[in-house]
């Protein structure tokens, strides 16, 4: 983080020495800051609520104005825009929100400054700055390259810092969810539109505010939906959502005459882990097991947390042989993971797994679940850390 901040300071200092700033540039700088502050004030309460849900790199929509600044302003003034907008976000929207710290905001400012500078270099190399002077196809492709450069540089810096500062991480935590990345790209595209309007039709800039606010609201609604569907401890589907989706998948399987499998997973001796090492280690064991589970199954398989130390997976379209193979891979992946107990010391975790398939295990979803549950008890009675299969398979 300090290296990123030092690089941003060096870039701003070098750019300030060589930059030529005109009165028109100063007016545009003030205009962009005013627009950014106005947009942030309009969506301030939405932003505070969104920030509370952020467990991945957070999209705050200021990229509309920071990219616009990179496209129309000299580098020192673009840095001023970034600093002003993030200072406003800190004091008006983020300060006091749990998990939001001033040093992270400073890092974000430096990251965005670097992203703006690299994007501006790309734009000048492609001949698209000043923006709007040429309307050829190549100019359009150059603008796409500028947007892509800003996005990649910003994401790469954030992902690198997360990877270096976190003992265990997943691609989702490094680059964020697909929806968040699509929101960032949409914001950057709006930044190009804002830059064009500032240079040619500033009176129409008000047209940017309505879709920007709508993006804020839609992002918040998605985050509420995600929170309602998932278990906060593991990130898997909660039991109510899993059951509803599993019932729908079961109805489809029976209608079309296709198979599916149920895999029930029980974390071995989780209570003893909690007693010996604390609940924080036990919770980390659950997260490790859920991460191992997600790394094995397909994207359309239904993974849920039943509660306590139990997980369930529905495998649509899988026959008995495939179900057993997936169950074995889950067991091996969990057994190979280690949960940190204290610095340098780890706790090994294992799981007992029961598997059953439709329709051989029964004609109803509850029948298949019951068969898989019995298989879990058989795995535990046989010594744990193994897979047992329903006798009906």
User: What are the respective helix, strand and coil percentages of the chain, to the nearest 5?
Assistant: 65, 10, 20
> Residue 292 and residue 355: Cα distance in Å, rounded?
17
Please give the backbone phi and psi of residue 353, each rounded to the nearest 5 degrees, phi first: -130, 140
CATH topology of domain 239-389: Alpha-Beta Plaits (3.30.70)
Question: DSSP states of 231-295 as a string?
Answer: -TTTSSBPHHHHHHHHHHHHHHHHHHT--EEEEEEEETTHHHHHHHH-HHHHHHHHHHHHHHHHH
Question: What is the share, in percent, of the chain residues with pLDDT greater than 70?
Answer: 86
DSSP, collapsed to helix, strand or coil, labels residue 126 as helix
Residue 56 has pLDDT above 50, yes or no: no
Which among 119, 35, 23, 2 is positioned nearest to 71, based on CA atoms?
119
Higher per-residue confidence, 99 vs 297: 297
Taking only the tens place, the pLDDT of each residue in 201-246 is 887 887 787 787 777 666 655 655 565 678 878 889 988 889 988 9
Owner of token pair 């939906």: 225
Residues 355-369 pLDDT 10s: 999 999 999 999 999
Location of structure tokens 């992270």: 104
Q: What is the C-alpha to C-alpha distance for residues 250 and 260, in angstroms, rounded to an integer?
A: 8
Closest C-alpha to 313, from 280, 272, 354? 354
Mean pLDDT across 140-169: 86
**For residue 265, pLDDT beyond 90:** yes
Q: Mean pLDDT across the stretch 64-86?
A: 93
Question: What is the average pLDDT value for the chain, to the nearest integer?
Answer: 85
Three-class secondary structure assignment of 330-362: HHHHHHHCEEEEECCEEEECCEEEEEEEECCCC
pLDDT of 58 > 60? The answer is no
Please tell me the predicted confidence (pLDDT) of residue 223: 57
Q: What is the pLDDT of residues 297-324, one digit of tens each?
A: 988 899 999 888 899 999 999 988 999 9
Q: Which of 292, 290, 291, 274 is nearest to 347 (CA)?
A: 274
Q: With the CA atoms of 24, 27, 33 and 39 taken in that order, what torsion angle do they form, in degrees rounded to the nearest 10?
A: -100
Q: 123 and 146 in contact (C-beta within 8 Å)?
A: yes
Q: Where are the domains of the chain?
A: 2-229, 239-389
More confident residue, 294 or 57: 294
The residues near 10 (Cβ < 8 Å, ≥ 6 apart) are none
What percent of the chain shows pLDDT beyond 90? 42
Burial of 243 (0-12, 13-18, 19+ CB in 10 A): middle
Q: Closest Cα partner for 33 from 76, 88, 75?
A: 88
Predicted pLDDT of residue 101? 83
| Predicted confidence (pLDDT) at residue 50 exceeds the cutoff of 80 | no
Cα–Cα distance measured from residue 112 to residue 91, given in angstroms and rounded to the nearest whole number? 18
Average pLDDT over residues 97-126: 88
- DSSP for 88-122, please give it: HHIIIIITTSTT--HHHHHHHHHHHHHHHHHHHHH
Above 90 in pLDDT, residue 107? yes
Please give the pLDDT value at position 59: 63
Tokens read off for 274: 């909690």
Each residue's pLDDT tens digit, 2-30: 999 999 999 999 988 888 889 999 999 99
Integer angstrom CA distances of residue 367 from 46, 110, 130, 153, 256: 45, 57, 67, 52, 19
pLDDT at 328 over 50: yes
Residue 304 region by backbone torsions, left for phi larger than 0, else alpha for psi between -120 and 50, else beta? beta
């Amino acid at each position: 983080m300090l290296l990123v901040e030092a690089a941003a300071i060096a870039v701003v200092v070098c750019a300030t020495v060589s930059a030529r700033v005109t009165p028109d540039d100063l007016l545009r700088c003030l205009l962009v800051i005013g627009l950014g502050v106005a947009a942030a004030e309009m969506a301030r309460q939405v932003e505070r609520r969104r920030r509370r849900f952020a467990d991945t790199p957070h999209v705050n929509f200021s990229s509309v104005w920071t990219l616009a600044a990179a496209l129309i302003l000299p580098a020192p003034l673009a840095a001023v825009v970034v600093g002003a907008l993030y200072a406003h976000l800190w004091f008006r929207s983020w300060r006091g929100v749990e998990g939001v710290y001033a040093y992270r905001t400073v890092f974000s400012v430096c990251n965005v400054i670097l992203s703006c500078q690299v994007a501006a270099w790309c734009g000048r190399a492609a001949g698209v700055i000043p923006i709007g002077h040429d309307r050829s196809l190549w100019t359009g492709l150059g603008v796409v390259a500028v947007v892509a450069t800003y996005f990649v540089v910003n994401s790469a810096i954030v992902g690198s810092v997360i990877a270096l500062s976190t003992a265990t991480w997943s691609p989702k935590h490094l680059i964020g969810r697909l929806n968040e990345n699509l929101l960032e790209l949409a914001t950057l595209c709006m930044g190009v539109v804002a830059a064009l309007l500032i240079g040619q039709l500033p009176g129409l800039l008000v047209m940017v505010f309505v879709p920007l606010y709508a993006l804020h609201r839609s992002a918040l609604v998605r985050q509420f939906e995600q929170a309602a569907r998932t278990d906060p401890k593991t990130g898997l589907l909660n039991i109510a959502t899993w059951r509803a989706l599993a019932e729908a998948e079961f109805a489809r399987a029976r209608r079309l005459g296709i198979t599916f499998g149920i895999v029930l997973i029980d974390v071995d001796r989780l209570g003893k882990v909690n007693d010996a090492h604390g609940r924080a280690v036990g919770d980390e064991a659950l997260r490790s097991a859920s991460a191992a589970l997600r790394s094995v199954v397909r994207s359309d398989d239904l993974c849920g947390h039943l509660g306590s130390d139990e997980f369930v997976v529905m495998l649509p379209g899988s026959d008995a042989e495939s179900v057993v193979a997936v169950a074995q891979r889950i067991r091996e992946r969990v057994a190979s993971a280690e949960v940190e107990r204290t610095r340098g010391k780890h706790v090994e975790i294992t799981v007992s797994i029961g598997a059953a398939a439709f329709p051989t295990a029964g004609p109803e979803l509850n029948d298949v679940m019951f068969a898989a549950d019995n298989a879990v008890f058989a795995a535990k009675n046989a010594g744990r850390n193994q897979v047992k299969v329903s006798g009906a398979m």
